[in-house]
Structure 1
């Protein structure tokens, strides 16, 4: 979901904020998708209505332009991942859980990579403070 490009951002504060937003968005989208699956979406019209409603909600967050836009992006991806399979609504819960786990693992790896990069940057690339000429 674009998480790999977040590691390339030079502003480590932005990476941290976006990382939290990505995780929050994934959690919201996953819970919304799993809650929708509890509705027993056997009727195609009900399934399409729930799917369209979720996509609409997360698209609104995504296009809002505010700080919650990243939440909408990740939430929409997790919601669609939970509800869309090859032929309609998922017949089993375990494949959905595996796909959602993959999203969470990807976000966790992105956060770890950005933390390592931040630590390396502070350790080796940040100039040492200048010595006091008076001392």
Structure 2
């Protein structure tokens, strides 16, 4: 069995374990644990271990800081929106300039999510903060142990490795401005048009921003395609039989395995596999097998809206740079 297939098997096993542990603990959003397994998945054990440790560290820092600040600004929408914008910008800049950018990005992203909860569900802020920490730790732990048991180099421990900076300070700063602007546009669109799933919209939008604007644009298109593929597959599974747990668990495992094969292969279609898995998980995983289509459809719509808004902004505000790069390549 090749390394990609072994890791895809480990990823699917880790997702299933993370979901069932989260369900047993009665956590609010088990799909966050499942997403953590998928997002840290990597054939390179050191990369997987590094992403897992940094994701946990960033989450705890973001939750702690966000919870404290969130109580100060509860009910104050302008400061809340400003803090979300600042967090989006700092996370994007740190992701592209720091050797441990993954921790910067997820710390800032988690802080922004806590701020959003002070806007939309302030009464649930405390439980959200604790549940988010539990869900991320469960997901990272299950993903790491599954890799250790079933993935390539089974039995070896991973090491934390520093990453090279992705771009120049000037370029990172420009992308951070776009991220902050995109966060504001998303908040305003949610306010005026009553969009569903504001946190999911923001997360999906920030993830696509790349050090290379042309890559961000390409990644955005792939993510939209992946949303459609993964979301459609998840809804089809629910439509066939939404109540039988054996069917749900089996299709959850097989769907993640197939998406992970694409995600891990590092081909031109990598991000289609990544986003297909994300859309599949948020569609299929609730507090057990879905009993109604409304929540998964809302989460899926939120992803598509977020990706579409940020892709448009990246393209519009980097149009001159993208055109210059194409002319130079031509």
Whether TM exceeds 0.5 here: the answer is: yes
What does residue 208 of structure 2 align with?
6
How well do the aligned residues superpose, as a CA RMSD in angstroms?
Answer: 1.9
Partners in 2 of 1:47 and 1:111 — Cα distance?
33
Partners in 2 of 1:53 and 1:19 — Cα distance?
25
- Unaligned runs of 5+ residues in structure 2 are 1-202, 325-330
Does 2:299 correspond to 1:106?
no
Partners in 2 of 1:6 and 1:116 — Cα distance?
15
* 1:42-71 residue CA offsets vs partner (Å, 9 max, x unmatched): 221111001101111111110011011101
Does 2:258 correspond to 1:60?
no
User: What SS does structure 1 have at the residue aligned with 2:240?
Assistant: coil
| Number of corresponding residues | 120
Partners in 1 of 2:232 and 2:301 — Cα distance?
12
* 1:59-102 residue CA offsets vs partner (Å, 9 max, x unmatched): 1110011011101110000000110002x111011111111111
Segments of 4+ in structure 1 off by > 4 A? none
User: What SS does structure 1 have at the residue aligned with 2:266?
Assistant: coil
How far has the Cα of 1:5 moved from its partner? 4.4
| Higher relative contact order (CA closer than 8 Å, sequence separation 6+) | 1
CA contact (8 A) 2:282 2:300 kept: yes
Does 2:251 correspond to 1:50?
yes
Q: 1:117-128 residue pairs with structure 2 within 5 A?
A: 117-119=317-319, 122=320
Does 2:258 correspond to 1:70?
no
Partners in 2 of 1:96 and 1:2 — Cα distance?
15
CA contact (8 A) 1:22 1:74 kept: yes
Q: Which protein has the bigger helix share?
A: 2
- Unaligned runs of 5+ residues in structure 1 are 127-135
The verdict on how the C-alpha distance between 1:6 and 1:99 changes in structure 2, with shifts beyond 3 A counting, is closer
TM-score, normalised with respect to structure 1:
0.80
CA contact (8 A) 2:205 2:310 kept: yes
Partners in 2 of 1:6 and 1:94 — Cα distance?
26
